Chains A and B, each alone.
Chain A
């Protein structure tokens, strides 16, 4: 017996079970049905940023290689010996998985140092600039956390507030981590060619 038949039989059994709706009059039942359908339709219209945490992808090692909470060294004025972003094998993945890719400007740098281990963490506040390149619009005053694992931590440590006013192209994606929605990002040097390459991939 195939599973389809089992599913059909189960459905038939449910239909033939005692009907709890019998006491409700037909017009009331139809009204309730329409209300439920409308509610379901409205619920399905939520934006990606409101995606329930359970539906967000987990932040795996592979994802962390794409969205590693870092800024390209060139944004700090440091010459990079690596490939340009569009030539990297991971570029298509970075673009394809992004919730949003947009130009952004760094407005505030916050540096926090804990007393015991002296660990430093940065929170960068960015404001979106112009139209979103792809995906949903970035929220204003978006906070990006640069933690211990970020390759940009040492550069930020040396440049710190000097970075305020920097402009870049920001790739952001939300993930599920410890039952919460966490935003991860990658920032690349702003260029028309990069923006074009992003648009072509989406």
Chain B
């Protein structure tokens, strides 16, 4: 897993999702393919596509310019996905795997 991608997830994507009471799962994270899965209240939030398309994807794209980026939302968690952030209190640090 690339350090720069992990950094983007920990410092940008994870906090954004957690702030909106969402849960972030990472199914794939490398320079060629990134697959994130969202669950919780964030996944059905009317504004989340703006966050994904205008904040999350550009941030990931900067770290992995050639990656195919997949973001799924909903109840079915992709096989082998690792939970990156969970619903938590704002003071708790995001869990790392």
**B interface SS class:** mixed
Given the complex, which residues of B lie within 8 Å of A112, measured CB to CB? 68-70
Interface pair B61/A109, CB less than 8 Å apart: no
When the two chains form the complex, which single residue of B46, B48, B71 contacts A110, counting CB atoms closer than 8 Å? B71
Contact A115 B65 (CB under 8 A): yes
Within 8 A of B (CB), among A28-48: none
Knowing A111-B70, A113-B69, A115-B68, the reply to whether A161 touches B75 (Cβ < 8 A) is: no
- Chain A hits for B71, CB < 8 A: 110-111
> Within the complex, what minimum Cβ distance (angstroms) separates A126 from chain B?
10
Q: In terms of DSSP, what is the predominant structure of the interface of chain A?
A: mixed
Contact of B38 among A116, A158, A161 (CB under 8 A): A161
| Cβ distance B60 to chain A, nearest Cβ, rounded Å | 10
B: interface residue count bin:
20 to 34
When the two chains form their complex, are residues B69 and A162 in contact, meaning their CB atoms are under 8 A apart? no
Q: Do the beta carbons of B73 and A113 come within 8 Å of each other?
A: no
- A160 contacts across to B, CB distance below 8 A: 48-49, 52-53, 73
A residues less than 8 Å from B69 (CB atoms): 112-113, 115
Given A111-B52, A125-B76, A160-B49, also A165-B44 (CB < 8 A): yes
CA distance A197 to B75 in the complex (A): 32
What residue of chain B has the Cβ atom nearest to residue A165's Cβ? B44
B45 contacts chain A at the CB level, 8 A cutoff: yes
Return the chain B residue nearest A108 by Cβ. Answer: B74
Are B49's CB and A161's CB within 8 A? yes
Cβ of B63 within 8 Å of any chain A Cβ, yes or no, is no
Partner of B46, one of A107, A123, A162: A162
CA distance A97 to B11 in the complex (A): 51
Chain B residues within 8 Å of A, Cβ to Cβ = 38, 43-46, 48-49, 52-53, 57, 61, 65-76
Q: A115-B65, A161-B43 are in contact. List 7 more A-B contacts (CB 8 A).
A: A108-B76, A113-B57, A125-B74, A159-B49, A160-B53, A161-B73, A162-B44
